[in-house]
């Protein structure tokens, strides 16, 4: 029994259909629970007031925006090396989820930034990096859409993802160098003094887990859709061959 068995489209569909309901429920429970806990049962921050509570959307979305790209990178590598179609389709399926997460992070960030920094947008390194990440997602999705042959599209987009990752990291450093910004440091880290207080952290963990589960569920679901679309076009092509 190896993990690669799930590279078989049918096996993948069967298994993902079995785990999806549980994933939806778990994701929903974590997000709803975390948000209610965070919004109604935590005190206001002594400096930031109640605006701090947008953290329960902002941080998990930002986390998943980056993780989605990372997942696409891994899936692209698996496609390039082992040529499992499901892997390429999973990367394709993750991109729109990632772009929406990036957008949520950007928008909630702007809403949070307005009362805190007095501006909706600043060319702060973190904000700028997310904007650049957003552009990378757009290019990746546009390339998938532009190519008819699915294998060609998978090859080209996965190489774009690999090259893009290198340039995304470079951009992150370039942007850091270009403007040392306003954004507070990481909200959570293991070795830092100035961390988010525990009372805020636990609902945040719940939301992060919820967003993570939601991401997994969405990607599995969308991958299933992509597999069915591929199956459909394979059937149509077969039909055409039969006519010819």
Partner 1 sequence: MIALLVRDLRLAFRAGGGFGLGLAFFLIVTVMVPFSVGPNSDTLSLIAPGILWLGALLACLLSLDRLLALDWEDGSLDLLATAPLPLEGVLSIKALAHWLTTGLPLVLAAPVLGVLLNLPAGGYLWITLSLLIGTPALSVVGTFGAALTVGLKRGGLLLSLLVMPLYVPTLIFGAEVARRGASGMSVETPLLMLAGITLGTIALLPFASAAVLRVNLR
Partner 2 sequence: MIAVRDLGVSRGGMPVLAGVQFALSSGEALVLRGPNGIGKTTLLRTLARLQPPLCGEILGDVDDIAYAAHADGLKLTLTVDENLAFWARVFGGGDPEAAIRAFDLASLRDRPAGGLSAGQKRRLSLARLMVTGRRLWILDEPTVSLDAASVQLFASTIRSHLAAGGAAIMATHIDLGIEGRVLDLAPFKAKLPAFDADDAGGFL
Q: Any bridge partners for residue 228, and if so which? A: none
Give the one residue of 94, 171, 206, 213 binding partner 1; rule: CB under 8 A: 171
User: Which range of residues in 65-73, 87-95, 162-170, 221-229 is near partner 1 by CB under 8 A?
Assistant: 162-170
Burial label, 28 (beta-carbon count in 10 A; 0-12, 13-18, 19+): middle
b or e along 79-112 (b: 16 or more beta carbons within 10 Å of the residue's beta carbon)?
bbeeebbbbbbbbbbbbbbbbbbbebbbebbeeb
Measured from the CB of residue 230, what is the shortest distance to partner 2 in angstroms? 5
DSSP 3-state of 149: coil
Mention every residue, 6+ apart, whose C-beta is less than 8 A from residue 132. Answer: 168, 171, 175
Examine residue 123 and tell whether it contacts partner 1 (CB under 8 A): no
Give the one residue of 83, 167, 232, 236 binding partner 1; rule: CB under 8 A: 167
Tell me the per-residue interface mask from 67 to 106 with partner 1, x by CB under 8 A, - otherwise: ----------------------------------------
Q: Could you say which residues in the range 133-152 bind partner 1, by CB under 8 A? A: 135-136, 138-139, 142-143, 146-147, 152
CA–CA dist 172, 192 (Å, integer): 22
Strands, E assignment, 163-233: none
Point out which residues bind partner 2 (CB under 8 A). Answer: 4, 7-10, 83-85, 148-151, 227, 230-231, 234-235, 237-238, 241-242, 244
Tell me the per-residue interface mask from 7 to 46 with partner 1, x by CB under 8 A, - otherwise: ----------------------------------------
Measured from the CB of residue 6, what is the shortest distance to partner 1 in angstroms? 26
> Could you say which of partner 1, partner 2, none residue 178 binds, taking C-beta under 5 to 8 angstroms by partner kind?
partner 1
Residue 159 in tokens: 């190489």
Question: Is the separation of the CB atoms in 195 and 205 below 8 Å?
Answer: no
Contacting residues toward partner 1, per CB under 8 A? 132, 135-136, 138-139, 142-143, 146-147, 152, 155-156, 159-160, 162-164, 167-168, 170-171, 173-175, 177-178
């Amino acid at each position: 029994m190896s993990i690669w068995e799930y590279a078989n489209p049918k096996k993948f569909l069967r298994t993902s259909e079995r785990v999806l309901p549980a994933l939806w429920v778990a994701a929903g429970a974590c997000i709803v629970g975390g948000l209610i806990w965070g919004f109604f049962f935590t005190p206001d921050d002594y400096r930031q007031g109640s605006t701090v509570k947008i953290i329960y959307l902002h941080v998990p979305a930002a986390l998943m925006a980056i993780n989605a790209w990372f997942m696409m990178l891994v899936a692209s590598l698996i496609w390039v090396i082992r040529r499992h179609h499901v892997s390429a389709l999973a990367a394709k399926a993750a991109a729109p989820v990632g772009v929406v997460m990036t957008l949520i992070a950007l928008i909630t960030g702007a809403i949070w930034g307005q009362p805190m920094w007095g501006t909706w947008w600043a060319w702060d390194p973190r904000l700028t990096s997310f904007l650049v990440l957003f552009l990378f997602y757009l290019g990746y999705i546009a390339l998938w859409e532009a190519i008819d042959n699915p294998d060609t599209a998978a090859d080209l987009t996965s190489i774009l993802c690999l090259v893009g990752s290198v340039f995304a990291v470079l951009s992150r450093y370039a942007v850091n160098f270009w403007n040392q910004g306003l954004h507070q440091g990481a909200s959570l880290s293991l070795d830092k003094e100035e961390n988010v207080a525990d009372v805020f952290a636990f609902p945040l963990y719940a939301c992060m887990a919820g967003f993570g589960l939601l991401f997994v569920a969405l990607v599995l679901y969308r991958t299933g859709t992509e597999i069915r679309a591929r199956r459909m076009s394979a059937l149509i092509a077969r039909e055409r061959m039969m006519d010819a």
